[in-house]
Structure 1
Amino acid sequence: MIRDYQAIGRTWFLKGQQRIIPTFGKHQGVKLVGTLDYETGEIFCVEEEKYDAMVFLRFLEKVLAKYPGQRIVMILDNAKIHHAKLLLPFLKKHEYQLELVFLPPYSPNLNLIEEFWGWLKRSCVYNVFYSSAQEIRCHVQKFVEEVNKKSAEVIDRLCISL
């Protein structure tokens, strides 16, 4: 989730003169769901209005369509929506193509897509004012497109870190 009220990331300023980032105060944002292909370094992400079990199910369908006929092992955190009963028929139907592996609780350092979300926020969000959620969307999409042109850098930066 990238909110429209921007955050101050690592920066410096004179003591007592904290940098102020304006906001337009609508509390909108950009919600992304994504995967990182550890072999190719490709980031695949989609934007959604909300993030619930049905959205996650649609995302899984998109992932299977993106990698037809390939065996997919997806590493996930333990969010409730990843364990939703709604997913069971789909997972049963695709059990030979899709396997979900759940990380131990409170271990985001083992989930490499989390490193990508941090990279995205440091590059696009921190210390920047955007006048609309649409402007945030454009910058995020451009960042993902640019990152996907540098697969070797993605692999070095994200995948080799384990």
Structure 2
Amino acid sequence: SVTNHTYINSHSMCLLLAKLALLDPVMPISVILDNARYQKCQMVTDFAQIVDIELVYLPSYSPHLNLIERLWRFVRKECLYSKYYADF
């Protein structure tokens, strides 16, 4: 795992790819990413080619494929509908 206590940027993406490449698997590695700018920059794509990792990007708007969107939908539905509960 890669732990980051600040902002995620292209350098932290390259660190993640480097750690994945060190696993030395027998099968090719494919990493599924959304379209964040720091994931699609030239530095990350070049580094992925060097370490032989395929980067697969989700379509531009695909909330059904992005797990965090499912979480946000649940939070909006269950937590943010201004319901009053008399007790915990």
1:76-100 alpha-carbon deviations (Å, 9 max, x no partner): 10000111111233122123xx111
The aligned residue for residue 18 of structure 2 is 61
Alpha-carbon separation, structure 2, partners of 1:108 and 1:47: 25
Cα 1:63/1:108, change in 2 over 3 Å: farther
Q: Which has the higher strand share?
A: 1
Segments ≥4 residues shifted beyond 2 Å = none
Helix, strand or coil: the match of 1:109?
coil
Paired amino acid for 1:74: V
1:111-135 alpha-carbon deviations (Å, 9 max, x no partner): 34x379x4xxx8xxx9xxxxxxxxx
Helix, strand or coil: the match of 1:99?
strand
Offset at 1:108? 3.4
The aligned residue for residue 91 of structure 1 is 48
Q: Which sections of structure 2, spanning at least 5 residues, go unmatched?
A: 80-88
Alpha-carbon separation, structure 2, partners of 1:60 and 1:99: 10
Alpha-carbon separation, structure 1, partners of 2:28 and 2:63: 24
Among all aligned residue pairs of Structure 1 and Structure 2, give the percentage whose two residues are the same amino acid. Answer: 31
Q: TM-score, normalised by structure 1?
A: 0.37
C-alpha RMSD of matched pairs (Å): 2.5
Give the aligned length. 71
The aligned residue for residue 2 of structure 2 is 46
Helix, strand or coil: the match of 1:105?
coil
Q: Quick check: 1:75–1:111 contact (8 Å CA) kept in 2?
A: no
The aligned residue for residue 58 of structure 2 is 103
Q: Which has the higher contact order (CA 8 A, sep 6+)?
A: 1
Q: TM-score, normalised by structure 2?
A: 0.63
